[in-house]
Amino acid sequence: MDNRKLGAILLLIGIILASATLIIKIQEDSFIKKFEAENGTCYLDDVTCLHEQQQIAFYGIAWVFSAILIALGAYLMFFEKSQQEIITTLERQKHLQSEDEKFNILLKGLNEEEQKVLKAVKEQDGITQQTLRLRTDLHKSKLSILLEQLEKKDLITRQDKGKTKEVFLKINL
């Protein structure tokens, strides 16, 4: 059952219980006042006071139980959103972890220099070749050859940007 529906049901039951307890208490108090007005005392023939016979424990338990039901119902109705946010965040983290795992598996099939280049491109998609050269500490011609190889493997794509080129990951993890 949906938490929001369950919360609404618990809230409704708690309100009904509190209302019923209040009605019973008001009726009992009304009866005692009426009895006192007619007899001039609250004592019965066996010398017991009507006030002492009131079910104070019953009212206390009923009030506490209804308060618990109302609080639990309100919690389930209004704080479900925070639980949904937690679930969404956990799913997003799981997705990111699975992407990283797939990327790491992909890297195992590449040599060390290709791995270095691909990691740098993943960190900054759209990185210029000049920046990539500085990050990977590879010679200009060596980097160019590696990028051609990675393009042939369909892992990256290069786009012209002025006198240089931007490098993008082409793989979809």
**Contact call for residues 117 and 147 (beta carbons, < 8 A):** yes
pTM assigned to the model: 0.47
Confidence (pLDDT) at 56: 78
What was the pLDDT predicted at 15? 95
Cβ neighbourhood burial of 2 (10 Å; 0-12, 13-18, 19+): exposed
Count of CB atoms within 10 A of residue 93's CB? 10
Architecture of domain 111-169: Orthogonal Bundle (1.10)
Supply the pLDDT for residue 45.
77
User: So where are the chain's domains?
Assistant: 3-78, 111-169
What's the confidence (pLDDT) of residue 39? 85
Walking along the chain (173 residues) 10 residues at a time, the average pLDDT comes out as 83 94 90 87 79 77 92 82 75 79 85 91 90 91 92 90 88 65
3-state class (DSSP) for residue 41: coil
